[in-house]
Amino acid sequence: MNTITVKNKTNWFVTIFFGFGLLLTSFIIFILLQLSAFQEDSVWLSLFSYASISVPFGAFFLLFLYFWLWNTFGKTVLGYDSKKIVVTKKYKLFCKPKTYYRTEVQKIDIEDFRIERTKYNVRYHFSWSDSTFSIIFIHNNLPIRIIDWITYEKAKEVLNVIQ
């Protein structure tokens, strides 16, 4: 099986912002909440207090980690052969590989999302770069975006390889 790896375009503002969010939530969970929770008289009460208070902060930590990992280190790996195409998102939490069989894919195409039309609205994606193109599969008459926000040259190169 041949592979193509496409690196996600890094947004440095998001990387720095969520990096600070990760540091702040980990400081709150491991330092501040422990100091406040273990001031109780009973050990069991203090453990229950720490666990119940740290769950929302743990959820925010996972949310920040999810966005930070994908934005900073994210890659899309396409594994392809004559029968199937396997799409794997590396460094994206809670995402399993998806397999598309070539007999079920009706069309593989490049789409420009500078102006995105959906069922309910029209959005203009303002970008300083030309990275507004996506590779899409038409699968069961529905478009499925495989690789997002790449340049036209990169999209054309990937499309020529997988076709």
Closest CA to 70 of 47, 92, 41: 92
The CA distance from 67 to 71, in Å, is 6
pLDDT at residue 98 is higher than 70: yes
pLDDT per position as a tens digit, 11-57: 899 999 999 999 999 999 888 887 777 676 677 777 787 888 889 99
Give the pLDDT confidence score for residue 9 in this predicted structure: 85
pLDDT at residue 127 is higher than 80: no
Closest CA to 13 of 94, 72, 89, 55: 72
Instruction: Report domain extents, the chain.
Output: 2-7+75-162, 12-73
Entry pTM: 0.80
